[in-house]
Copies of this chain bind each other. A is one copy, B any other.
Amino acid sequence: MAEAAAVENPDQLITSTDPEHPANLIPSLCAKFWTLGWVTGTGGGCSIRDDNLVYLAPSGVQKELMKPTDIYVLSLKDQDPAHRQQRTYLRSPPTYKPSQCTPLFLAAFTRRGAGCCIHTHSHWAVLVTLLLEAKGNSRVFEINNIEQIKGFGKGFGKVGNLGYHDTLRIPVIENTPHEEDLTEYLEAAMEAYPDTYAVLVRRHGVYVWGDNVHKAKTQCESLDYLFQLAVEMHQLGLPWISNVAQIAPQRS
């Protein structure tokens, strides 16, 4: 589907019988995320990049009720980085506003070559940032020696996944009154933690991305699992960082 043709008939961009087409996949993913408690009360969202085309959920919709016709489409080629507040959309739904998350999703696409970015308001993510705040405004979440850590890639441009004994580090940025204003801090966190696939936002939630939908979603699931485990470990008085690498396995 050529972009030029699409501009003449923008609805072509979001019309497909393929359930894997981004305009179909974003609504079905968001409905799934709603049942997981990741997106609630219009908070949170998801964006998919297909080559230069970016598909975005609108602002303020009920996430479990989204339809393909609600989806925005823009081309990365058309965006002027110097004026990122004024975006050109190839296709806009008639009754909505673009999501305030848009520049954050674009940062994952342009700076990390991501194919999908998910934003959740998961309780576990928020509680982790609150626990870190209570520990002196710590700006990084760290956990190691948990099997689920293997669910993460080693980093942008690197081959393979983290190991069981590796420490997963997710940077935390402070929240801002306007979500778009988070962009520069998110980009700075990407610079400071070049291998991360996620950034936590204090008292707000998390942004998670991946090379494609599969990787973004499974990394987001693994991260939510780890955030939940971290809160539960805290409640049980168990530390997030341990030194079990030297414990030799035993015949029990």
Contact = CB atoms under 8 A, between A and B. Distances in A.
A231 to B, nearest CB: 8
A167 interface: no
Given A123-B225, A151-B41, A217-B62, A146 B203 contact: yes
Contact of A203 (B147, B223, B236): B147
Copies in the complex: 4
Nearest to A60: B218
Contacts of A181: 249
A40 interface: yes
Given A121-B147, A229-B123, A229-B127, A252 B192 contact: yes
Interface residues of A, number: 73
A37 to B, nearest CB: 8
Nearest to A130: B238
Given A238-B134, A250-B173, A252-B185, A41 B221 contact: yes
